[in-house]
Amino acid sequence: MRLYIDSADVKQIARLNEYFPIAGVTTNPSILVKENRPYLEVLREIREIIGEEKELFVQSIGDISEEIVEESKFITSELPGKVIVKIPVTDEGLKAIKLLTLENIPTLATTVYTAFQALMAAMAGANYVAPYVNRIDNLTGNGVNVVAEIAKLYAAYQLPTEIIAASFKNVQQVHDVCLAGAHTVTVGPDLIEKFIAFPATPADVADFKSQWQKTYGSDKTSLVNS
């Protein structure tokens, strides 16, 4: 499983990239406009933080395939490193994915709500699909089941497209999609911070240090000075 940060907040990205095993960053138009500054400036800063080997996802906003293809070529020429273009699963989006696949421009099919949308995107050549787990739940569906169905279809037809599950409200959803067959997940910074948060852990650490210092002295704060 690989973990992506779903954000354009450069401070949060820098912190998470330093401490967590991050594979890259995903953005979308809503995320970028929150930063309230030129989007290319933000994306270039993100690239500087994560380096050129980690993937950076940028979403097109064009309505027709020709616009999407033009945007995709522009964004991949403006940003160094591994750039993946996110394209909504519409008829024009599928056409654009097919055209970009022919030109070896990697794509992620986004706004996925059903397993069959994901299947069509994979057949069109998308490198990734992003099922919206919590949004599916909010529409009285079951996001985790959709991820499981996509994984089953991809395995049955031996499709190389990877599932990058998105849209989460809690850690349990992330946990469940990993078990359901998601290859990777993209998660907001606040939720990533909760992945390793458990009350017993800091309590145990404090207890270990306390016992150590009772034996070796209160000034002994590490193995180096003990």
Provide φ and ψ at 162, rounded to 5°.
-100, 150
Catalytic residue among 34, 86, 95, 220: 86
Give the CA angle between residues 175, 179, 185 to the nearest 5°. 55
Is 82 among the residues known to form the active site? no
- Report the alpha-carbon distance of residue 26 to residue 166 in Å, rounded: 10
DSSP-assigned letter for residue 34: T
Q: How far is CA 54 from CA 2, 22, 68, 174, 222, in A?
A: 11, 8, 23, 21, 34
Fill in the amino acid letter for 89. Answer: V
26 near 13, Cβ under 8 Å?
no
CB neighbourhood size of 181 (10 A) = 17
Token readout for 183 is 């290859």
Quick one: residue 51, left, alpha or beta (phi over 0 = left, psi -120 to 50 = alpha)?
A: left
Catalytic residues: 86
